[in-house]
Amino acid sequence: MEDYPQMAKEIVKRGHEIGLHSATHPHFTQLSVDEMKKELQSNRDLVKKVTGYNAKLFRPPFGDYNNTVIETVMEIELIPVQWSVDSLDWKEEYSAEQIAQRVIDQVDKGAIILMHNDGKHTPEALEMIIPQLQQQGYSIVPVSDLLIKDDWYVDINGVQRKK
């Protein structure tokens, strides 16, 4: 965000959501509640300062969470989000074709696909994934469109469920 502020602004301008992921990429289960809040608030403040966007979503680094993490995130009015399909696009040894096939094979209705903006083959993989999923009848939507808005909880697998 600090290195590419114009890109971040353009992402927001084009109508995309920005979710928080932390300021320093720690394992949140190893932080105190105060450390978590500081980490999240500094990240939220930076996004707001650079883009004017008020981020509402948070995905913990490494998918590392427990009840305390979820409760803390919700206490500061963020919505915790996990993924249901890991593309493994961060692994340089995976080709764009392997990443695309992995995603296409695992995707299901309501899937949240984990991908990284710095993956070596991510752009090329997305060029294969998006048309294939659209051909199968899927729509690419903002994460917030997939979320249950009222009376929900996060199960042991990180999946949001209706109470």
What CATH number is attached to the domain comprising 49? 3.20.20.370
Q: 163 lies in a domain?
A: no
* Overall number of domains in the chain: 2
| Cβ–Cβ under 8 Å, residues 22 and 43 | yes
- Identify the residue whose tokens are 């051909």: 135
Averaged pLDDT, groups of 10, the chain, 163 residues long? 92 94 96 98 96 96 94 94 94 97 94 92 97 97 86 73 82
The per-residue pLDDT for 46 is 96
Position 158 scores a pLDDT of 65
Q: b/e string for 102-120 if b means 16 or more Cβ within 10 A?
A: bbeeebeeeebbbbeeebb
Q: What counts of helices (H) and strands (E) characterise the chain?
A: 5, 6
Q: Are residues 2 and 77 in the same domain?
A: yes
Residue 51 and residue 89 share a domain: no
pTM (2 d.p.)? 0.85
Structural domain of 3? 1-81
Same domain, 61 and 3: yes
Residues 26, 5, single domain; the answer is yes
- The answer as to whether 50 is a domain residue is yes
Looking at residue 121, what is its pLDDT?
97
Q: Positive or negative CA dihedral for 7, 12, 16, 18?
A: positive
